[in-house]
């Protein structure tokens, strides 16, 4: 685990004042368009496409000394909209103070680019009496396609000094002024969002090498958008970067620090999601949230691979409310609390303090989970593979699940799961609290909430003197396999070795011929194990049953 860290560079905090003089001085030192192109090329990531030919410079739209940044930006966008083909708006100033949203609806093939995330900063004019909800806005009756924002910084207006450790509005607030601050830097609402009545399709939004600091709300909020790429961005002390009802989302190579909610929310209604190679530190809720919300189930067809998730206050990776068709592989999760500050409580649900949490959509949508059988779930979390992850110091459990079907948990390393005491730091956690101090298992093991579960070849270790109660709890229900798990240091062990035979009543068991010679199961009607000889079921004495 790590401790709270500060921005690496003072420029990450703010660069304001003297904006017009700085911008014009920079341009005066450039030897024409060729030098400007060289500067932009040097700051552009290697994977960036070459700029389109229709360049518009924001600096060219300050006709008078009294021209405001807002007027210059709007004039530059108007000029870009008038071009017949692709357009490239270049912002070369050190900082811009804006007072109103900049609407990008209807653009096709638009790129907006600064000189770098710490060299070109946009923020709300401090003189504005209220907050600005959104800065760049996409969404309306005109279709929008292929919009890119690149090499820009956004300062939300959060005041100094920063809060210590985890912070969220309420008892652990982030300080903001009465006005002149920003809630969301980039907002889009496309036709695929069920609430977007009358909105046109938004297809193709790319945000790369941008920086977001101290926004009051979600720095990026994209809803109902197709073909989204957010890569190589940095966000600190904001809310979560959020996606809902989006198709084809690539969230790659980003760094998110000390956000006041989740780190990233790949949320309800999303599909075809790739979340790879991100570093997420100090989230107040989940590091990576890939679940449903309210009445809407979780995402589907989601890949969460090779991320580093550190010091989350609630959950490392959360797949709840019926997430389906997911791969969670090769992630490193270190440090998960049971809530923080006013959110820390022994009465919290089983999500709190878990490395990887998987659950279905309860019939009662207001509940995050259900402790009942599968019949208590409207939609199960299905077809999920949790493979080769390293999970350390999760204060409740390494991997918990309920309301699931076809889950494979294979080859993970779980180190020091659980806590010796309740949050008071004094009262020991009793040995029957199986969903509190567990390496891997269902959070309601007495209920038949999980089917077709494989828990195999995992390493679970506790070197704190027996804090962990169970290494593995075999999931309840039929078709569960717990085999080859290595468990060291648990107060009790379960499911660490051997094959767990399927358990079925006589009326539900398959034919002996379909299972083949040597196939076995436990007959819950006869209360004994039985084996197939290829044509009939036999008990241990050889009698046909």
Give the C-alpha separation, 76 to 62, whole Å: 10
Q: What was the pLDDT predicted at 446?
A: 63
Mean of the pLDDT values across residues 386-403? Answer: 96
What's the pLDDT at 37? 43
Closest by alpha carbon to 56, among 78, 34, 80, 72? Answer: 80
- Whether residue 42 is predicted with pLDDT greater than 70 in this model: the reply is no
Is pLDDT of 5 > 80?
no
> Residue 269's pLDDT is what?
96
Mean pLDDT of 299-326: 97
Q: Are strands 361-362 and 377-379 parallel, antiparallel or unpaired?
A: antiparallel
Give me the residue label for tokens 């530190």.
281
Question: Could you tell me the two tokens for 101?
Answer: 């949203």
The mean pLDDT of 252-271, rounded to a whole number, is 97
| Model confidence band, residue 21 (pLDDT cutoffs 50, 70, 90) | very low
Name residue, tokens 């940044």.
69
Residue extents of the structural domains in the chain = 269-278+289-500, 503-538
Identify the pLDDT of residue 106.
Answer: 97
CA 194 from chain centre, in angstroms, equals 21
Average pLDDT over residues 132-142: 98
pLDDT grade for 448, boundaries at 50, 70 and 90 = confident
Please report which confidence band the pLDDT of residue 371 belongs to, taking 50, 70 and 90 as the band edges: confident
Q: Give the least confident one: 95-99, 245-249, 271-275, 466-470.
A: 466-470
DSSP one-letter string for 62-122: --STT--HHHHHHHHHHHHHTSSS-EEEE--SSEEEE-S-EE-TT-EEEEEE-S-TTTSEE
* Mean pLDDT calculated for residue range 102-121: 98
Work out the average pLDDT over 210-228: 98
Contacts of 195 (CB under 8 A, 6+ apart): 223
Supply the DSSP string of 417-440, one letter for each residue: -S-SB-TTSSSBPPTT-TTTSEEE
Q: What band does 435 get if pLDDT is binned at 50, 70 and 90?
A: confident
- What contacts 427, CB < 8 A, 6 or more positions away? 421
User: Per the structure block, which two tokens stand in for 24?
Assistant: 């014009």
Q: Give the residue-averaged pLDDT of 34-46.
A: 40
**Phi, psi angles (nearest 5°) of residue 253:** 70, 30
Task: Mean pLDDT check: name the lowest of 119-123, 272-276, 502-506.
Answer: 502-506
pLDDT at position 515, please?
A: 80
**Separation CA 447–CA 369 (nearest Å):** 13
CA distances from 534 to 136, 164, 198, 387, 519 (A): 68, 66, 62, 34, 8
Local confidence band at 347 (pLDDT 50, 70, 90 cut-offs): low
Above 70 in pLDDT, residue 348? no
The percent of residues in the chain predicted with pLDDT above 90, rounded, is 65
The residue that leads in pLDDT, 78 or 363, is: 78
Which CATH fold would you assign to the domain 269-278+289-500? Pectate Lyase C-like (2.160.20)
Res. 47: pLDDT tops 50: no
pLDDT at 38: 42
For residue 494, the model assigns a pLDDT of 53
As a whole number, the mean pLDDT across the chain is 86
* Residue 353 token pair: 């303090």
What is the SS3 assignment for 375? Answer: helix
d(CA 499, CA 511): 21
Average pLDDT of 280-303? 96
Q: What is the pLDDT of residues 452-511, one digit of tens each?
A: 999 999 999 999 987 888 888 876 555 678 888 999 988 776 544 445 567 889 998 989
User: CA 310 to CA 336: how far, in whole Å?
Assistant: 8
Lowest pLDDT segment from 167-171, 235-239, 454-458, 531-535: 167-171
Q: Which residue has the higher pLDDT, 495 or 386?
A: 386
**When comparing pLDDT for 6 and 98, which is higher?**
98
What's the pLDDT at 469?
Answer: 86
Collect all residues with Cβ–Cβ distance below 8 Å to 365 and sequence separation of at least 6: 294, 295, 378
pLDDT tens for residues 84-100? 999 999 999 999 999 99
pLDDT at 3 (0 to 100): 41
Q: Rounded to an integer, what distance in angstroms lies between the CA atom of residue 327 and that of residue 428?
A: 36
């Amino acid at each position: 685990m790590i401790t709270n860290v500060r921005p690496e560079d003072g420029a990450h905090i703010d660069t304001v004042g003297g904006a017009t003089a700085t911008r014009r001085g920079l341009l005066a030192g450039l030897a024409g368009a060729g030098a400007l192109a060289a500067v932009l090329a040097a700051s552009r990531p290697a994977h960036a496409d070459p700029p389109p030919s229709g360049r518009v410079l924001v600096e060219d739209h300050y006709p008078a000394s009294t021209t405001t940044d807002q007027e210059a930006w709007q004039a530059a966008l108007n000029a870009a909209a008038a071009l017949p083909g692709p357009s490239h708006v270049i912002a070369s100033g050190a900082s811009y103070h804006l007072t109103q949203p900049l609407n990008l609806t209807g653009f096709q093939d638009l790129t907006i680019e600064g000189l770098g995330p710490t060299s070109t900063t946009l923020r709300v004019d401090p003189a504005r009496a209220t907050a600005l909800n959104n800065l760049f806005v996409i969404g309306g009756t005109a279709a929008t396609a292929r919009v890119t924002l690149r090499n820009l910084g956004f300062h939300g207006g959060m005041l100094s000094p920063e809060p210590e450790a985890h912070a969220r509005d309420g008892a652990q607030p982030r300080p903001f002024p009465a006005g002149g601050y920003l809630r969301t830097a980039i907002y889009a609402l496309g036709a695929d969002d069920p609430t977007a009545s009358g909105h046109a399709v938004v297809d193709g939004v790319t945000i790369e090498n941008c920086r977001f600091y101290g926004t009051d709300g979600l720095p990026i909020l994209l809803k109902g958008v197709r073909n989204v790429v957010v890569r190589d961005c940095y966000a600190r002390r904001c809310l979560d970067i959020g996606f809902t009802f989006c198709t084809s989302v690539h969230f790659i190579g980003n760094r998110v620090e000390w956000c006041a909610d989740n780190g990233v929310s790949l949320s309800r209604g999303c599909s075809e999601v790739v979340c790879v190679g991100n570093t997420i530190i100090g989230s107040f809720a989940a590091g990576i949230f890939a679940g449903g919300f309210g009445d809407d189930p979780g995402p589907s067809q989601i890949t969460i691979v090779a991320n580093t998730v550190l010091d989350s206050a609630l959950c490392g990776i959360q797949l709840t409310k019926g997430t389906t068709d997911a791969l969670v592989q090769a992630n490193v999760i270190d440090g998960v609390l049971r809530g923080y500050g006013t959110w820390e409580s022994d009465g919290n649900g089983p999500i709190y303090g878990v490395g990887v949490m998987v659950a279905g959509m309860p019939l009662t949508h207001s509940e995050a989970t259900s402790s009942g059988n599968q019949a208590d779930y409207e939609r199960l979390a299905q077809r999920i593979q949790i493979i080769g992850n390293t999970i350390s110091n999760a204060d409740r459990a390494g991997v918990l699940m309920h309301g699931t079907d076809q889950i494979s948990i294979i080859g993970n390393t779980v180190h020091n799961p659980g806590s010796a005491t309740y949050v008071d730091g004094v009262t020991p956690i009793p040995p029957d609290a199986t969903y509190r101090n567990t390496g891997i298992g269902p959070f309601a093991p007495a209920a038949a909430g999980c089917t077709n579960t494989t828990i195999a070849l995992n390493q679970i270790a506790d070197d704190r003197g027996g804090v962990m109660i169970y290494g593995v709890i075999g999931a309840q229900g039929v078709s569960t396999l717990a085999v080859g798990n290595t468990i060291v240091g648990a107060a009790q062990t379960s499911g660490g070795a051997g094959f767990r035979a399927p358990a079925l009543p006589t009326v539900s068991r398959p034919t002996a011929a379909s299972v083949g010679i040597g196939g076995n199961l436990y007959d819950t009607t006869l209360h004994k194990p039985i084996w197939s000889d290829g044509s009939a079921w036999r008990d241990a004495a050889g009698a046909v049953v």
